Amino acid sequence: MNHDELNHWSKRAADWAQAYHAGLRERPVRAQTRLGETAAKLPALAPEKAEPMEQIFADFEAIVPGATTHWQHPRFFAYFPANASPASMLAEQLANAIAGQAMLWQTAPAANEIEAVMINWLRAALGLADDFTGTIHDSATTATLSAILTMRERTLDWKGNTQGLSALPRLRIYASGETHSSIDKSVRIAGIGQDNLVKIPTNADHAMDTQALDAAITNDLAAGFLPCGVVACVGGTSIGASDDIAATIAVAKSHGLYTHVDAAWAGSAMICPEYRHLWDGINAADSLVFNPHKWLGAQFDCAVQFLKNPTEQINTLGLRPEYLNTLGQDEVTNYNEWTVPLGRRFRALKLWFTLRAYGLEGLRTRIRNHINWGRECHDIISEMDDFTITTAPAFSLFTFRYKDSDAATQDLLARINDDGRIYLTQTRHAGQFVIRMQVGQFDCTREDVMMVPCVLKDLTGGQ
């Protein structure tokens, strides 16, 4: 395939994409396929001879869409969204065409400088203080890992990277049980160890009990551990729980600990000033992550980390062998030094396109609609026979249960997703199996959301 053929096939792909998105409502949301079915349709070995693109494209159409869970389906209410606004898809096409590698300023000046400006735009859009700067990672997991490595190294005066951890007292990190498993994964990868992630109990609001946090840190210090940081959450994955950010950070700071806030999903909602009380105190955080690829419409992957003092993270993650020097320009910002991988995609372009194509007003309207429709749907389900609301709406996320039974709830969830009109997933809350629903898909309408109680009624014969 050459570039002329690429032009032809790009137009075919654009036509295909248009028809695909227009027809999404006719498709079942979750892939209706059996394990191994797709792999069985592919030959065991790569072809020796080139194959015509007509055949490759035909196979794509025959094999892939039918075995795909449609994340851009307007009735995707599972997990959290991975939204791709049309403007961000276009930006990704252009970034793919350039196919650059933005590890250094000089390897991608436009990408580097647009990234810096997008961080400023988003900082202002979220109402954050001017002394935050930041970078774009692939995922919230990478941002959290970067923050946890920075907590570790700051505590060790940056000696862990060179001397290792084996001769040291055990390091400690604190978080509530409502934080995402990426925190557990990060403490494992950082060599701190899962047993040294202290899970602090939560209060009746599902927020970290800050007195218990204070006591845990004090006890650990007395026992010879080395506390290094606290991870708080705003809009946790399971039920949307939020910590009291001001109180949590105050406790952490009173012990000199680094703080990182995971707002991967709910951070996008902070473009609406009326939700910002849910992260009061955020400006005192050392680090904060949110994923525009979840709720803001900037296609996966796009995770923004804001930092108070990037030098601490650069001292932790940055390495500059001779071949990565920018000759004559030592002061330049090279974002690879702020993150784990060296190579970086041009992720800022989709933010630039998305923020301009919809405007903050347009994005706010979407998020407000999602939250209002989610609450309306919650109110209907709360009135339905045999259904119990298990957690109230947090932003646009709530959970419910059927016939107050794990088995009945699990069976209903399987039937919902086999039915295909909507897609919901589960969590475990207070020891119970519950169905979770969030509203956040970029193109969903009120009618799409109201389909949820309709499906529940259809499948249970309920009122």
Residues that bind ligand PLP (CB under 6 A): 80, 139-141, 180, 182, 236-237, 262, 264-265, 291, 303
Q: How far is the CB of 393 from ligand PLP (least distance, A)?
A: 16
Q: Three-state DSSP class for 148?
A: helix
Residue matched to tokens 């991870």: 231
Cβ within 8 Å of residue 265, ≥6 positions away = 80, 235, 237, 240, 290, 291, 294, 295, 395, 438, 440
Q: Taking a C-beta distance cutoff of 8 angstroms, is the pair 335, 314 a contact?
A: no
Q: Which is nearer to ligand PLP, 305 or 460 (CB)?
A: 305
CB of 220 vs ligand PLP, minimal distance in Å = 25
The residue type at 463: Q
Tokens of 399: 């959970």
- Minimum CB distance to ligand PLP, residue 138 (Å): 7
Report the run of H or E that residue 401 belongs to, with start and end: strand 397-402
Choice between 153 and 262, CB closer to ligand PLP: 262
Q: Judged by CB, which is closer to ligand PLP: 30, or 180?
A: 180
Work out how close the CB of 317 gets to ligand PLP at its nearest, in angstroms, rounded to a whole number: 17
Q: Is the dihedral of CA 202, 203, 206, 208 positive or negative?
A: negative
Nearest residue (CB) to ligand PLP, 108 versus 264: 264
Q: How far is the CB of 110 from ligand PLP (least distance, A)?
A: 25
d(CA 356, CA 87): 9
List, as one string, the DSSP characters of 406-435: HHHHHHHHHHHHHH-SSB-EEEEETTEEEE
Residue whose CB is less far from ligand PLP, 145 or 451: 145
Helices and strands per DSSP (H, E), number in the chain: 15, 11
Nearer to ligand PLP, 297 or 453 (CB): 297
Closest separation in Å from C-beta 264 to ligand PLP: 3
Q: How far is the CB of 295 from ligand PLP (least distance, A)?
A: 10
* Closer Cβ to ligand PLP, 141 or 441, answer by number: 141
290 vs 147: CA distance, rounded Å: 13
**Minimum distance from residue 127 beta carbon to ligand PLP (Å):** 20
End-to-end CA distance of the chain: 58
Closer by beta carbon to ligand PLP, 258 or else 387 = 258
Single out the residue of 72, 92, 149, 144 nearest to residue 423, CA to CA: 72
Query: H or E element: which one contains 179?
Result: none
Other CB atoms within 10 Å distance of the CB of residue 27: 17
Closest CA to 74 of 411, 366, 401: 366
If the CB atoms of residues 115 and 262 are measured against ligand PLP, the closer one turns out to be 262
Tell me which H or E stretch contains 118.
Answer: helix 109-125
Nearest distance from C-beta of residue 351 to ligand PLP, angstroms = 15
Q: Which of 209/301 has CB closer to ligand PLP?
A: 301
Are 416 and 30 spatial neighbours (Cβ–Cβ below 8 Å)? no
Shortest Å distance, C-beta 289 to ligand PLP: 7
Query: What ranges make up the beta strands (E) of 143-262?
Result: 171-176, 197-200, 226-233, 258-262
